Structure 1
Amino acid sequence: MSSGTDTDFGLPEAAGGGTSGTAPDAAPRTAGAPQAAEAPKTAQAPQAPQAAEALQASQAPQGAEAHTTAARTGEVIAASDLHAAATGADTFPGALREALNRRGLSLERVSERLRVRGITISQATLSSWQRGRSQPERARSLRAVDVLEEILELPSGALRSLLGPRRPRGRITPVGAEGTALQILGEDSVVEKALGARFRHFNQETGSLMVHDVVTVGESGTLSGITTTNVLRASRAGADRAVFVHSFDDEAAEPVDIRVTCGRLVEATYLKGLKSLVLEIHFGRELAKLDTTVVSYAVEVSPSETPATHYERWTRTNLHEYLQQVFFHPGALPTDCHRYVREKVGAPPRAKRRIPLNDTHNVHVLTSRCKPGVHGVAWDCGPGAGTTGTGTTGTGDRPG
């Protein structure tokens, strides 16, 4: 499945291969599904050639945790640049986090290695540094940074040179949208890792009013594609773009094509290690405060072996309306479907209610005044699901 995010970014929970998508205020997640069923292709508008070329060009391995898709202002950029952009590696928190991941060292081990060298820095402090909540400023902390560069096998000054101006001492408590996102996603979520330093200011200039997700499940029962339409409103003048994150549950599922029908694709980066797709879409103009715009895109996913079982979208703000549709191939009809809500990612589902499958093989859920949280649809696979056809996974709020 895949997951989608808030209007600012999305992350789904899935029990199958999938992806998660983010929008300014609501994000989807779907679970793996097969090739597109005969569902209305809301996303079947003209393909964005830049995205397709970038996706295909970057499919070849590019070293560790390669970003298999990349398009920025119509050009494929270097893997190192993509990594910096996606992880915030050009900032102190991003560079520290990237170096830790590359060396495969836990914060506990790093703290112990610092202690052996006579420097006491707690795991909590290291975590705060890599998350951008605080930064080293005192003499002891700066000395720790110098030793960290040695432990992480970085050039001298690689981390120190990225330190910004002094901040107020102590942990910076997240407020507003970031704080709400952390409550719903939890700390160190896939979305936060995928966005890196960008997570802190993720889509603060816009908020979602309405979101419409269309999930397509193919003949083999796996997710084949997701189409998302967002109506966004600017919270300040000058807003001209939004970032969306889709997370897949199945490693075999990867985005193979992206079509933007409303807006212009600026970046499409697939982080294979996180099974997440990051999209940056330009509105085509700068918005005035409280002005609205529509962003619509579709993601086609490569075949997966795991049948999709659910699709989720999380939102950190109140949506005026959220519409979710799931279309099933006639050869992969579910035996039961139900809707549910979670207070946060990973929490037990509540308010479960069965929803009927109509004679055109689809179900839908329409929620008005959609509150912050995780909103999903789950289904039980029929006996024939997964036996024929090619499976794919797509992105949405959070498919699984």
Structure 2
Amino acid sequence: MSEFAEALTLAVEASGLSLERIQHHLESRGVQVSQSTLSYWRRGRSRPERPESLAAVAALEEILQLSPGALTSRLGGRRPRGRWVERATALEGIWRDAAIDLGREITRVDRLLPAPARYLSVRDRALIGQDRREIEIRSSAVIEAFEDGVDRMLLAKTADDTDLSPGGIVAEKTCRVGRVRRDDEQKLLVAEIILDRVLQAGETALVDLRLISDPGADSACADRTFLRTVRNYVLEVEFHPAAVPVRCHSFTRSEPGGPDVETGELWIGTTAAAHLLVHEAQAGSVHGIRWEWE
């Protein structure tokens, strides 16, 4: 638990006030903060950083009868991040060789804050065509907001070495695509995904996307790298009935760039599809399916 979370918890307990009463006192001062956000601040699941959140912390010092700065001084410096990424340094560890170029793309986007949200579950379905090449990945995810006011998230898409370009992205009815930055040399696409409504802390939303592929050779793998731990991940690969591989297996890497660890043979059923299920996919890990045509 952070120093701020500990100080806030002790102050709330000492005051004898419930979160509902504290929220009422904040509202009487013209400060809007949900009980869920207050709870997340206490447990260290999120921290106030936006101007309106910092104003709420100053009001809390008064409500909880603390000296000025008793809470705000424990927040420390603002975390370096932009709405395009959870943190540029985290992405540098994920995409390595593309990191410099990714950082360059990120710095071109101004006045954006990160979406304080996490994935609860993700399902990816890769479609492989008759020519053995990947057509697209249809992705459906459930996200949960940590703070009030979450209205967008970040997606970064990389391509295989044999791909002609990073491809494209299409949003379904649950969201829409905002600003997009492409680096064709590094085969990298970074996109802002705007939700269909503004989330309050603890609320969830569905995000449905189509990640369009641009392969230059036979596809042999589908995988996902995780920036944060995801509770449940499902990956399904659906092959064209006229192009079914002879072998299919699941694999994982404990970190990007690390060696593949084969985790089991996968059965390709009568529907010409195979899938894997991962519980608690850890941050920084890679999970995927690989197949052989001959």
TM-score range, shorter chain: 0.5 to 0.7
Amino acid at match of 1:224: I
User: How far apart, CA to CA, are the structure 1 residues paired with 2:137 and 2:286?
Assistant: 17
- Please state if 1:291 is matched with 2:212: no
User: Partner of 1:225 in structure 2?
Assistant: 136
Counterpart among 176, 182, 188 of residue 264 in structure 1: 176
- Listed as ranges, the matches of 1:33-52 within 5 Å are none
Q: Could you say if the C-alpha distance between residues 332 and 190 of structure 1 is closer, same or farther in structure 2, counting changes exceeding 3 Å?
A: farther
> Which position in structure 2 is the counterpart of 1:125?
none
What one-letter code is carried by the residue in structure 1 that aligns with 2:186? L
Larger % of strand: which? 2
CA distance in 1, matches of 2:113, 2:127: 28
* TM-score, length-scaled by structure 2: 0.63
Task: Show CA shifts across 1:51-103 (max 9, x none).
Answer: xxxxxxxxxxxxxxxxxxxxxxxxxxxxxxxxxxxxxxxxxxxxxxxxxxxxx
2: CA distance, partners of 1:191 / 1:214: 28
CA distance in 2, matches of 1:286, 1:296: 16
Please give the secondary structure, in 2, of the residue aligned with 1:298: strand
CA contact (8 A) 1:339 1:354 kept: yes
Q: What displacement does 1:234 show? A: 0.9
Greater CA drift, 351-360 or 256-265: 256-265
Do the aligned partners of 1:233 and 1:293 also contact (CA within 8 Å) in 2?
A: yes
Once residues 381 and 232 of structure 1 are traced to their aligned partners in structure 2, the CA distance between those partners, rounded to angstroms, is 36
Q: Which residue of 2 aligns with 1:315?
A: 226
Residue 203 of structure 1 deviates from its aligned partner by 4.1
Amino acid paired to 2:99: S
Partner of 1:196: 106
Aligned pairs (5 A) from 1:268-347: 268-302=180-214, 304-347=215-258
Given that 2:148 and 2:201 are in contact with CA atoms closer than 8 Å, whether structure 1 keeps it comes out as yes
In structure 1, give the amino acid aligned to 2:203: D
Moved more, 264-273 or 352-361: 264-273
Deviation at 1:196, TM superposition (A): 2.5
Query: 2-side partners of 1:191 and 1:207: how far apart?
Result: 25
Counting aligned pairs with the same residue, the percent is 20
Aligned partners of 1:188, 1:269: CA distance in 2, in Å? 14
Evaluate the alpha carbon distance shift between residue 253 and residue 220 of structure 1 in structure 2; reply closer, same or farther with a 3 A threshold.
farther
Contact 1:202 1:243 in 2 (8 A): no
Given that 2:249 and 2:262 are in contact with CA atoms closer than 8 Å, whether structure 1 keeps it comes out as no
- Provide the aligned length of Structure 1 versus Structure 2: 208
Shift of the 245–192 alpha-carbon distance from structure 1 to 2, 3 Å rule, reads: same
Residue 188 of structure 1 deviates from its aligned partner by 5.1
User: What letter matches 1:215 in structure 2?
Assistant: A
- Residue 283 of structure 1: how far off its partner (Å): 0.8
For 2:266 and 2:101, how far apart are their aligned partners in 1?
A: 29
Q: Distance in 2 between matches of 1:229 and 1:223?
A: 18
Q: Distance in 1 between matches of 2:80 and 2:104?
A: 21
CA distance in 1, matches of 2:258, 2:242: 32
Change (3 A) 1:295 1:173: closer
CA-CA distance at 1:244 after TM superposition: 0.6
- Matched-pair contact (CA < 8 Å) for 1:243–1:280: yes
| Structure with larger Rg | 2
